[in-house]
Amino acid sequence: MTLPRAPGNRNLIDASQFALMKRDAILVGISRGSIIDQAALAVALRRGTIAAAALDVFEPEPLPADSELWGLDNLIVMPHIAGGTQLEGRYVLDMFTENLGRFLRGELPLRNQADKARGY
């Protein structure tokens, strides 16, 4: 699941959403921790409402040492590194170079330009 942190997305995945998932569902969260209601996720994982989850982002971040999520055997906790690859640096440099050229030529909008009105 990848969604921006934007109005209306806070705790978008909550107990009601977990109840709609299949029991063998695996939730993968790699965008923003605020999208998933972590208390509801813990309940869903403990009760077997869903099979498992893998999270790379948390609310708050880093995940506090006393979080109940640490003790769940059916949860993979990652340190906010899911977006990185060996090609990431090249990708960022290529996008910057292209956007600099577009900006200097007056070609707007730039690639991947944030829309402040939408919040991302």
52 forms beta bridges with 26
pLDDT at residue 114, as a whole number:
83
For the chain, domain boundaries:
1-83, 84-120
pLDDT at residue 6, as a whole number:
86
Which CATH topology does 1-83 take? Rossmann fold (3.40.50)
pLDDT at residue 82, as a whole number:
80
Burial of 98 (0-12, 13-18, 19+ CB in 10 A): middle
Question: Tokens 């909550």 correspond to what residue?
Answer: 14
| Catalytic residue numbers, as ranges | 32, 61, 80
pLDDT at residue 86, as a whole number:
86
pLDDT at residue 111, as a whole number:
92
Handedness of CA 41, 45, 48, 50 (dihedral sign): positive
Which pTM value belongs to this model? 0.78
pLDDT at residue 72, as a whole number:
98
Spans of the chain, pLDDT less than 50: none
